[in-house]
A = this chain, B = another copy of it.
């Protein structure tokens, strides 16, 4: 963990309400970190519906492989997460470690290994000794409590400088239901997925296939629109669980994606994921500024997103923002290198509300002083209009600072 909290950290945290049917425990196992929690157990009192989205890496971690297998059945009784070691690129030892953890967790909560989900985050390539924490799971399952969401978010942090939580309560068939989410991530953050772990739980009674469809859609506008360093982790895991317990208060059981009662829930889920994704960016390693990149006028939405990501991932754009330099020429460069349809002489660029470039050259009213003043803000908005079509997209990133280099130059040692 970094010594100091990001200046972009939330100024306050929401109260995270309990969600019926899920309990939380954390523990200090000393896997890598000392003097902090590094193991999280989520226990579902009965079978929860499960959905998940995982890294697109060709070299996924052992827990990702494990989760993908179990997700086919769509049922969960417990989730075990450890920080400090990713259990990635650990070969046979990695599979033994996930098996041992799952066996301990299933004994602790009284279920099969097929109802356990696992995630690990931290160093890649070092064997994870499940024995360091598997013996704790029985006690954790007994002691788990419903109101420990912030503790849960803290236990899964690595280089994060603050815990990330979000919550929404909406009416679902006239009955209030809650969606709680936690996330971690700070580096190795790029879309598809952002490199991160996130666990979201609701009491709304929604069947696993419907949860999965809602999750697939919501991730497109949230975690898959943020990037810190263009690097994609081996361990990206986003899971959504439903305890279904709102049914006891009269909430309807929904099993079809077309059900109109899902509309408000889907929007609330989107807001939870969006909040968590932006908290991720705002805790980007070394971040001092958040950058929103909005592209309009592209040939298509997909083209707009590729251009926006080209800008957001450009080291030269990101260092210029760090230096509070309104170097819009580098935005032109990043649009040009995206490989997407663009016509230099139609481009317009804004920094905040200031149009700095228009029809392929510097705006006639350009004021270096005004633009430089804008760059001193904590939140920077770059808008590029391509001038060719109606495609648009927005992505979020952070600046690239010397602290990013410092954090990543000696993270492992």
Contacts and interface: CB of A to CB of B under 8 A. Distances in A.
B405 A334 contact: no
A355 to B, nearest CB: 13
**Copies of this chain held together in the complex:** 2
Contact of A315 (B230, B320, B323, B361): B230
A34 interface: no
Given A315-B230, A329-B124, A94 B361 contact: yes
B91 A361 contact: yes
Contact of A232 (B94, B337, B411): B337
A357 B231 CA distance: 20
A376 interface: no
Contacts of A345: 91
Contacts of A232: 333, 336-337
A322 to B, nearest CB: 5
A412 interface: yes
Given A329-B123, A402-B405, A89 B357 contact: yes
Contact of A187 (B316, B359, B409): B316
A335 interface: yes
Contacts of A405: 319, 322, 400-402, 404-405
A190 interface: yes
Contacts of A249: none
Interface residues on A, range: 35 or more
Contact of A340 (B58, B229, B335, B411): B58
A1 to B, nearest CB: 17
Contacts of A57: 333, 336-337
B342 A59 contact: yes
A117 B269 CA distance: 57
A399 B321 CA distance: 21
A357 to B, nearest CB: 7
Interface string A49-63: 000000111111000
B91 A360 contact: yes
A261 B332 CA distance: 44
A286 to B, nearest CB: 9
Contact of A333 (B234, B342, B361): B234
Contacts of A89: 329, 332, 344, 347, 357, 360-362
B333 A59 contact: yes
Interface in A61-119: 86, 88-94
A4 interface: no
A59 B307 CA distance: 13
Contact of A409 (B325, B328, B359, B411): B325
Contact of A411 (B325, B362, B402): B325
A375 to B, nearest CB: 10
Nearest to A187: B316
A59 B335 contact: yes
Contact of A91 (B124, B125, B126, B359): B359
Contacts of A320: 408-409, 411-412
Contacts of A334: 231
3 pairs of A and B residues whose beta carbons are closest in the complex: A124-B329, A323-B409, A91-B361
Given A89-B344, A402-B406, 19 more contacts: A58-B340, A58-B341, A86-B329, A90-B361, A90-B362, A93-B361, A125-B361, A127-B361, A229-B315, A231-B330, A234-B336, A315-B404, A316-B408, A319-B409, A320-B409, A323-B413, A327-B411, A400-B405, A402-B402
Interface of A: 55-60, 86, 88-94, 123-127, 187-188, 190, 229-234, 313-316, 319-320, 322-323, 325, 327-330, 332-345, 347, 357, 359-362, 400-402, 404-406, 408-413
7 contacts: A59-B332, A60-B344, A89-B362, A91-B345, A92-B361, A124-B333, A315-B404
